[in-house]
Amino acid sequence: MSNETISYIMNEIDLSRIDLNLLVVFESLMETRSVTLTADRIGRTQSAVSHSLARLREQLDDPVLVRVGGRMHPSPYAEAIIEDIRPILRGIRRVIAPRNLFDPAQSDRVFRIAMPTLTKVIAEVSAEVEAKAPKVRIEWLPAHHDVYAALSEGLIDLAHLGGEPRLPGGLDHQVMEPFSWVTFARKGHPAVANWGIEAWRRFPHVMVNVTRSHQNPFPVDPASDAGARRVSAMIGDSAGIASLLARSDFLATFPAVLLAWDMEAHGLIALKPPVDLEDVLVRFFWSSRLANDAGGIWIRSIVIEAYRRLQGEAEAKLAASKLVQPSGRMGSSEG
């Protein structure tokens, strides 16, 4: 069923007749596929849940869920609309929740965080959240091109990106310390023996497209590209970069925090870029409208503190004195 068809059907329904509680029951039934389990979960009797399901069927003019072999199976229509209903209910719960009350130990909230795949940060944040809030779940998402709109709408709780010095209105942010650029390559890479500007230009580079408007670490335009490097691969996410470098002659230039802990496992070495690269503004940002949400404040403090600490450790781990130094350096380029 197309989105246009769903929209048409929903517009034909008199929304004033829809009890919000019916959608809560519907969401739980879609997860449990059981009237009994749903009754236990939402604190109602089985007969009340069955009555709510009957009202849903009547008002939506659809069977919604049908018992087959002792288990409830959703209709195609139910499968189509549940993904739209979940974020609506999540937003309502967030709006009407007590403003200053958030108990991590009891919460079953889902936080959505958009950022590059910084495996060390993700691992440590996940471990801390698991220890403090075992029922909380985090959805780690790529920082796609419409992340700003998703933040404003409350669909994403926190995002992390470099660049973009001017943010759209309605977003708060926290600027992080600038990081050092490091070029990574596999051990035994032929560029290492005579590392410098010629090797930088000769061997292929891999780059990540963070968003449609921002590439990492700097633009690919040959007219402005630092040192006229040769970018021969562009990928959509930083996950898997270490494995790719270990199996190729690619060079990749990233912040130290991205790969500092993957080097030993993947047999990588770190080199000082033979060009001067400008600092990139790095920020975490979130919706101004939800800035005082207690749960949002809690998860932001965990993520931002973990990032700040691990970034510092990565910078120390890959200090300039520990990098392969270039035989000659090129001055900074425009862009």
Domains and CATH numbers, the chain: 3-96 (1.10.10.10), 110-169+286-315 (3.40.190.10), 181-281 (3.40.190.10)
Tell me: pLDDT of 212 over 70: no
**9-13, 40-44, 216-220, 328-332 — most confident range:** 40-44
pLDDT at 331: 46
- pTM (predicted TM-score): 0.66
**Mean pLDDT across the stretch 38-44?**
88
Q: Residues 223, 227, 231, CA angle at the centre, nearest 5°?
A: 75
pLDDT at 97: 66
Tell me: pLDDT of 123 over 70: yes
Tell me: pLDDT of 120 over 50: yes
C-alpha–C-alpha distance, residues 187 and 33, integer Å: 52
Tell me: pLDDT of 210 over 60: no
**Mean pLDDT across the stretch 177-191?**
92
